[in-house]
Amino acid sequence: MDPDAKALDYHDVLLRQGDVQLLAGAHWLNDQVIAFYFEYLLREAFAGAGVLLVSGDSTYLLANLGPDAGPAVVLEPRGFAAARLVLFAVNNNPDVECAGGGSHWSLLAYSAGGNSFHSYDSMAGSNRQAARAVYKAAAAAAPPGARFVEERAPQQANGYDCGVHVLALAKLLCERAAAAAAAGSQAVDMQVSSTGITPASVTALRQEVLELVRGKIAAAAAGAAGSS
């Protein structure tokens, strides 16, 4: 199988066969896989919940543009001001000229109800500097006084599941945002230390996302065959 062959076009995300294969084994997830799941959560699973999900490449751009230009380029066009919950995929890439890099993912979440940014790292402290850079840029779009909170998060059991932890945390927080929306509230519970995110559930989510991708590939193929 050619790893560069196109596998799936999903809204703004193009997955290639090599991207899909990252989900099939003990592999570190790349920007494209995380962007796919963020798009799925935003457009299908939690559409209408007042959530905004910012993929790794856009988060990288925000941090590198900084507070002066970053919010206008990355956040304002996406409706940051109206969101109940904003999730950022944070990578520790130190290269200011190339978005595709780094070795570790974490999640930064903005709660509009608390006017606070919450950092979740499955290898505690590893992405502190990167998360703070995103916070400093994004806080320029938030009301004055937005806080940065380093939360206790479930820890990964290996060296490659950081990206799946990001997906699991994003799903959990989106579920809470949807519940808040249903209740007509802006308040979202941002503490995750005692949730059911475990090594076993992370492994299960990796398989779940793989099956989701495969299902969309099959549906796209069936649609193409039906229109020919």
Pair 108, 119: CB distance under 8 Å = yes
How many Cβ atoms are within 10 Å of 12's Cβ, its own excluded?
10
Does domain 28-194 correspond to CATH entry 3.40.395.10?
A: yes
Q: Report the C-alpha gap between 204 and 82 in whole angstroms.
A: 33
Per-residue pLDDT at 40: 98
Active site residues: 104, 121, 162
CB 13, CB 36: distance < 8 Å:
yes
* 115: phi then psi, degrees, rounded to nearest 5: 45, 55
| pLDDT of 6 | 96
In the predicted model, what is the mean pLDDT of residues 145-164? 96
Average pLDDT, the chain: 93
Question: Does residue 96 carry a pLDDT above 60?
Answer: no
112-132 tens-digit pLDDT:
999 999 999 999 999 999 999
pLDDT value of residue 32: 96
Instruction: Spell out the domain ranges in the chain.
Output: 28-194
Kind of pairing between the strands at 147-150 and 116-120: parallel
